[in-house]
Amino acid sequence: METFTIKDIARELNLSTSTVSRALRGSYEINPETKRLVMECAERLNYRPNPIALSLKGSASRAIGVILPQIANYFFSQAINGIEAIAYNRGYHVIIFQSQESYEREIANVQQSMSRKVDGLLMSLSSETSNVAHLQEVLDKNVPLVLFDRVSAELNVTKVVADNFGGAFAATEHLIQSGRRRIAHLTIQPWLSITQERLAGYRAALEKHGLVFDESLVRYGSFGPDEVGPMVDELMRYPSPPDAFFTASDRLAVGCLQALRQRNLHIPDDVSLIGFTNLNVAELLAPPLSTVVQPAQEIGQIAAERLIDQIERKQRALPIETVRIPTELIVRTSTMPEMVKL
Amino acid sequence: METFTIKDIARELNLSTSTVSRALRGSYEINPETKRLVMECAERLNYRPNPIALSLKGSASRAIGVILPQIANYFFSQAINGIEAIAYNRGYHVIIFQSQESYEREIANVQQSMSRKVDGLLMSLSSETSNVAHLQEVLDKNVPLVLFDRVSAELNVTKVVADNFGGAFAATEHLIQSGRRRIAHLTIQPWLSITQERLAGYRAALEKHGLVFDESLVRYGSFGPDEVGPMVDELMRYPSPPDAFFTASDRLAVGCLQALRQRNLHIPDDVSLIGFTNLNVAELLAPPLSTVVQPAQEIGQIAAERLIDQIERKQRALPIETVRIPTELIVRTSTMPEMVKL
DNA sequence: AACGTTCCCGACATCGTTTGCGCAAATTAT
DNA sequence: ATAATTTGCGCAAACGATGTCGGGAACGTT
């Protein structure tokens, strides 16, 4: 099956390419009969407009770019699923770039997607990103941009995030209500919006229940596979060690579970553990892991919807807002000593 | 930061665009001094050639397309990581498409990547794909193609796969050696190459140890979340039910674990369980899951390397071969009754 | 001095598509 | 019947870059 162009149709029908182009787009200044002929011929040849040529012309490419830190991550891969589903339904293609948590690569990704003329950009910031000038430039070029999950307060754009404050609050309160008093919080880079919101939820819950916020129980970082263990050791050496861990990501939840088990700390008898995670196997872990579930797929869907809405009604500016998706607390054995005995 | 074109440089330097183009590509017929000027100006304006225009002209786009069934899958997301790493190092960008296990979408993806003028294509077939005419067309267009994991025997191209036979053989033999006799095999669609190879390994191990191959213990399918349970029920109702399950994918391993636990079948006392999986949490499950690990990242890396080699030495045809990456058997509690007592 | 080379560089066409403008024929108005 | 519109379509420019020509200047050769 070769690939036919508008020229082939024009030649076949003895028309000019302009006429064919206009007929295909349904222009009013083309004879209905001519239109029919063109449509029929296009159908017959299985004509598909060349997206590259369209992009060059500057018109819509019907592609949206997605830039995120890592694909191999439960949260993001589910978010992509949501994005793809919506995009596909609405006739858009998705081009995915990974920043690998690198600021430089994120900039390169943005440049790439701009020069590939995507119709819009969906982003979740790398952990190294604090300066958002490169995104401001995107906006200046009038390219629709929607941020999700890892967003920046400095940009006046539509954002779709989980209710991080609420989720963290619920998790922390749950730990307190199940009798915990020294709750460690393992989290990611402090300048990220999600980190701050979760930390705020954690603090708020502590304060509500009259517990003092102890800075030394909060640890930030990009925790590689071997970094969680030492940190747990350090925390457990305290005169009054934590009796619970609240972690802020998939990676941390798993790393922490592993570290605790390796150290023969029994969960939940010695310490409770609860994570912010989308692990679908959370229930099958030993012990089954309590979590705050962020609806990753839904976040992706809503972000994609907002973006495409913006792309398609470009003339009239859509309201810019922050959509906050509720999170869900799921209590399992890792935070419920009484469940162990059942 | 605006985006400058070759024209801007030409205007700035009072040269023609052709001269600038040639200077940038280092053509011998340009005065070294002129080259210097052009280079310097390009540097100053932060000139980046427009990939769209290049693609239109038919030259290299320095992008490779990756088409695979699902991103939200441990194996594939790790494979993408490997692909991305290599591609990035060698100056290529990766455009990812998901077929969602649909033949139609796979065809659409191929068309898209062709019209987006990727320099080469990396594919893992959807489970619905039995006809590979769309890929033959890719080859006919002289676009380099490398298949990985889910490959087709009908295509004469470079393929990168795990040692599925060896892995299945090792898993099955391990089960037999730990005393199991009725080993069920839950696997995916029968027409896929990986399915056949794994089945062959399973049979070979049975035969080596003098066990008869019982077709009724093998189940094929695309097992959704609620389909594994009923199948387990059915198998366990047999007069002589299986004493072990060997599953052929991440999804099946987890689904099976969950189904067995829900039915209060104790692993490994009642039945053993071993999977083909890349789950990084396999060790943390209850019980820790024995698995055959496929080096997903390595498969991705090698596939990307082969593809880019083909792209860059397009003139001289590189040898077409099938690269088989060894798998690794990791024995954990789910297949070792004696370990439970430790 | 007339010719052939070599060295640099510019004009132009091209990729596939859209779009502003213009132009002939057909239709309507005067 | 003539003028004014409308209808339907083609020409050519444009998007950004490359590549094929070909041409002018500065050499070297007889």
Residues A202 and A268 in one domain: yes
Nucleotides of D under 7 A from a protein CB: 7-12, 14-20
Mean pLDDT, chain A, whole residue set: 90
With respect to residue A102, please indicate whether it lies within any of the assigned structural domains: yes
Query: Alpha-carbon Rg of chain A, whole angstroms?
Result: 25
Q: What DSSP state is assigned to residue A285?
A: B
Give the end-to-end CA distance of chain A in Å, rounded to a whole number. 64
Looking from the CA of B157 toward its CB, the CA atoms found within 13 Å total 31
Instruction: Confirm if B8 and B19 have CB atoms less than 8 A apart.
Output: no
Q: What DSSP state is assigned to residue B335?
A: G
Please state, in angstroms and as integers, the Cα–Cα distance from residue B113 to each residue in A3, B55, B58, B81, B117, following that order: 13, 12, 14, 20, 6
What is the domain-level CATH number for residue B228?
Answer: 3.40.50.2300
With respect to residue A246, please indicate whether it lies within any of the assigned structural domains: yes
With respect to residue B135, please indicate whether it lies within any of the assigned structural domains: yes
- Cα–Cα distance, A33 to A11 (Å, whole number): 17
With respect to residue A39, please indicate whether it lies within any of the assigned structural domains: no
Q: In what order do the strands lie in the sheet with A120-123?
A: A93-98, A63-68, A120-123, A145-148, A158-162, A322-325
Residues B288 and B173 in one domain: yes
Please state, in angstroms and as integers, the Cα–Cα distance from residue A86 to each residue in A78, A150, A342, B105, following that order: 13, 20, 43, 14
Nearest to B242 by CA among B260, B254, B221: B260
Count helices and strands in chain B by DSSP H and E runs? 13, 12
Tens-place pLDDT, residues B49-106: 888 888 888 777 888 999 999 988 889 999 999 999 999 899 888 888 899 999 999 9
Among A91-95, A268-272, B231-235, the least confident range: A91-95
Tokens for A197, please give them.
Answer: 């919101």
Nucleotides of C under 7 A from a protein CB: 7-12, 14-20
Residues A289 and A253 in one domain: yes
Query: Alpha-carbon Rg of chain B, whole angstroms?
Result: 26
Residues A208 and A102 in one domain: no
Q: How many domains does chain A have?
A: 2
Nearest to B285 among A56, A94, A284 (CB): A284
With respect to residue B44, please indicate whether it lies within any of the assigned structural domains: no
- Per-residue pLDDT band for A340 (boundaries 50, 70, 90) equals very low
Q: Is A107 helix (H, G, I), strand (E, B) or coil?
A: helix
Residues 50-69 of A with CB under 7 A from strand C: 50, 53-54, 56-57, 59
Looking at CA atoms only, how far is residue A77 from chain B in angstroms? 5
Enumerate residues 6+ apart whose C-beta is below 8 A from A185.
A198, A199, A202, A217, A218, A219, A245, A246, A247, A248
Nearest to A72 among B48, B77, B112 (CB): B77
Nearest to A288 by CA among A252, A335, A329, A246: A335
- Per-residue pLDDT band for A316 (boundaries 50, 70, 90) equals low
With respect to residue B4, please indicate whether it lies within any of the assigned structural domains: no
Instruction: Confirm if B190 and B196 have CB atoms less than 8 A apart.
Output: yes
pLDDT score, position A60 = 77
Residues A319 and A237 in one domain: no
Q: Do A257 and B284 touch (CB under 8 A)?
A: yes
Residues B98 and B195 in one domain: no
Instruction: List residue ranges whose Cβ is under 7 angstroms from nucleic strand D.
Output: A 14-19, 29-34, 53, 56-58; B 5-7, 17-18, 21, 24-25, 47-50, 52-54, 56-57, 59
Residues B334 and B205 in one domain: yes
pLDDT score, position A227 = 87
Q: Do A52 and B56 touch (CB under 8 A)?
A: yes
Residues of B in contact with A95 (CB under 8 A): 95-96
pLDDT score, position B342 = 42
- Between B17-24 and B6-13, two packed helices, what is the crossing angle to 10 degrees? 110
Residues B208 and B337 in one domain: yes
Looking at CA atoms only, how far is residue B321 from chain A in angstroms? 27
Residues B136 and B234 in one domain: no
Q: Is the pLDDT of residue B341 over 50?
A: no
pLDDT score, position B316 = 64
Tens-place pLDDT, residues A8-58: 999 989 999 999 999 998 888 888 888 899 999 999 998 988 888 988 887
Tens-place pLDDT, residues A147-165: 999 999 899 999 999 999 9
Residues A67 and A192 in one domain: no
pLDDT score, position B337 = 67
Among B184-188, B225-229, B263-267, B303-307, the least confident range: B225-229
Looking from the CA of A147 toward its CB, the CA atoms found within 13 Å total 25
Residues of A in contact with B53 (CB under 8 A): 56
Residue type, A127: S
Q: Do A286 and B283 touch (CB under 8 A)?
A: no
Q: Do A52 and B50 touch (CB under 8 A)?
A: no
Cα nearest neighbour of A134 on chain B: B1
Tokens for A202, please give them.
Answer: 């954690």
With respect to residue B57, please indicate whether it lies within any of the assigned structural domains: no
Host domain of residue A149: 63-156+296-324
Q: Is the pLDDT of residue A258 over 90?
A: yes
Task: Determine the nucleotide nearest to B10 by Cα–C1' distance.
Answer: C10
Q: Do A286 and B287 touch (CB under 8 A)?
A: yes
Round to a whole number and report the distance in Å from the CA of A207 to the C1' of C21: 72
Q: Do A114 and B3 touch (CB under 8 A)?
A: yes
Nearest to B48 by CA among A110, A96, A142: A110
pLDDT score, position B142 = 85
With respect to residue B263, please indicate whether it lies within any of the assigned structural domains: yes
Residues B73 and B198 in one domain: no
Rounded to an integer, what is the distance from CA A36 to the centroid of its chain?
A: 44
Say how many C-beta atoms besides its own lie within 10 A of residue B250's C-beta: 22
Cα nearest neighbour of A105 on chain B: B88
Residues B148 and B213 in one domain: no
- Cα–Cα distance, A266 to A264 (Å, whole number): 6
